[in-house]
Amino acid sequence: MTSLLVTGGAGFIGANFVRQTVEQHPEYTHITVLDKLTYAGNADNLKGLPDSKVTLIEGDICDAELVDALVKDHDITVHFAAESHNDNSLNDPFPFVHTNLIGTFVLLEAVRKHNKRFHHISTDEVFGDLELDDPNRFTETTAYKPSSPYSATKAGSDHLVHAWIRSFGIQATMSNCSNNYGPYQHIEKFIPRQITNILAGLTPKLYGTGEQVRDWIHVDDHNDAVHLILSKGKIGETYIIGADNDHVNNKQVIELICELMDLDANAYEHVADRPGHDMRYAMDSTKLRTELGWAPKYTDVDSGMRKGLEQTIDWYRDNEAWWRGTKDNVEATYAKQGQ
Ligand code: NAD
Ligand code: DAU
């Protein structure tokens, strides 16, 4: 009888995590989702899940009273909630500072008070970026060097977790994962933006030269790793999650999407680059693989990413009602930035 509190469980990765938990992890008897339902959260992401197993509470992780009561009543808190989009953080950093720093602090204080198990979800972006020709990859001991307001606030939240582990001995684990893709991802993000552009008859948009490398991972592989860390991870430890796609650049990804959607591979346009754009991320997940036995199911660009992208394209094609209503606004915001 283990209960889970999932913050941000109505967002992209969190909702996929809740779905995977219901389908594959009967050891978790009840899941409560705490989500503010910002522009990025959507109650429909949890549609079809049994009410007897999943409860959605609309609320803010910065609300200390609410968080205290919820953390107290659950065995484990998995913390996905965040402001997550780099481009938004360049336009208006305040919500990032508020949610990612204050929200994480509020959760940590409740976890400390009630002595509960906590898992913090973080990102490879806390490490900054690598040059294209740098053979190194990020590991659990790489120094932090975030570039954007988003990644700086995620780095700050990681430091809070590290400090609460060391100073107060809380029962926490952490993971830093690379770029996710898959169903339910907000269409502001690179891959779903291009898929929905094509479905809407718009031209796909590549920032700058498109040489940037993201170490793409399917969201289900990320969530499999989180489940392993919950069941077998060592308290106090951090785990790097990545699927070895650090040889694939944005140009190759957009070309593959065009090809899979029956367009010429070069049927996209170059638009203004992102200021301060990180060049390359690359993750070394040796510790997760050797100590916990994790392996991604979706792997290299020719088989794994192709299979994952095909599935993702089908999902956006079959779920037009899910994204259609937000498309014009998302594109209008990008257009103002020349993107
Ligand atoms: P997302 O933006 O799709 O979802 C975030 C969710 O958090 C939304 O449902 C939103 O409503 C909720 N939320 C925001 N502020 C809140 C608040 N104050 N209180 C309660 N809920 C709030 O993000 P995502 O892509 O699913 O990312 C989830 C987590 O994973 C984040 O912590 C992110 O930093 C991390 N991460 C993301 C990626 C990626 O590629 N998307 C990779 C590595 C790590
Ligand atoms: O690395 C993990 C991070 O991945 C997460 O921590 C973030 O929450 C998540 O948003 C993601 O950050 P990125 O900034 O890498 O993702 P995004 O989808 O915004 O962009 C991916 C790459 O594609 C990046 O190099 C910018 C580029 N891009 C993006 C958009 C939206 C384009 O070329 N065209 C686009 O239209």
Ligand in closest contact with the CA of 210? 2
Ligand in closest contact with the CA of 80? 1
Alpha-carbon distance 332 to 204, whole Å? 14
For the stretch 13-51, pLDDT in tens is 999 999 999 999 999 999 999 999 999 999 999 999 999
Can you give the pLDDT at residue 284? 98
- Check if 21 has its Cβ closer than 6 Å to any atom of ligand 2: no
Can you give the pLDDT at residue 87? 96
Alpha-carbon distance 244 to 298, whole Å? 10
Return the SS3 of 41: coil
At residue 66, φ and ψ (nearest 5 deg) are -65, -45
In sign, the C-alpha dihedral spanning 142, 233, 80, 220 is positive
Tokens of 327: 């498309």
For the stretch 278-335, pLDDT in tens is 999 999 999 999 999 999 999 765 656 899 999 999 999 999 999 999 999 999 999 9
Can you give the pLDDT at residue 335? 97
- 64 C-alpha vs ligand 2 centroid, how far in Å? 31
Can you give the pLDDT at residue 303? 57
Average pLDDT of the residues of the chain: 97
Q: 79, 86, 198, 257: which to mutate for ligand 2, most atoms within 8 A of CB?
A: 86
pLDDT(177) > 90? yes
For the stretch 74-120, pLDDT in tens is 999 999 999 999 999 999 999 999 999 999 999 999 999 999 999 99
- Check if 184 has its Cβ closer than 6 Å to any atom of ligand 1: no
Alpha-carbon distance 123 to 121, whole Å? 7
Can you give the pLDDT at residue 45? 98
Alpha-carbon distance 77 to 71, whole Å? 7
pLDDT(141) > 60? yes
Report which ligand 1 atom has the smallest distance to the Cα of 103: 18
Complex confidence, ipTM: 0.99
Report which ligand 1 atom has the smallest distance to the Cα of 241: 43
Can you give the pLDDT at residue 338? 95
Q: Whose CA is nearest to atom 34 of ligand 2?
A: 206
With residues binned 3-state (H G I as helix, E B as strand, rest as coil), the percentages for the chain, rounded to 5, are: 45, 15, 35
- Check if 13 has its Cβ closer than 6 Å to any atom of ligand 1: yes
At residue 72, φ and ψ (nearest 5 deg) are -60, -40
Alpha-carbon distance 231 to 202, whole Å? 44
Can you give the pLDDT at residue 299? 79
Catalytic, out of 83, 124, 129, 158: 124
Alpha-carbon distance 220 to 317, whole Å? 19
For the stretch 123-134, pLDDT in tens is 999 999 999 999
Can you give the pLDDT at residue 301? 53
Q: pTM of the entire structure?
A: 0.98
Say whether 269 is catalytic: no
Catalytic, out of 83, 109, 125, 221: 125
Q: What percent of the chain has pLDDT over 90?
A: 97
- Superfamily holding 2-186+217-246+277-298: NAD(P)-binding Rossmann-like Domain (3.40.50.720)
Can you give the length of the chain in residues? 339
- Domain residue ranges of the chain, discontinuous segments joined by +: 2-186+217-246+277-298
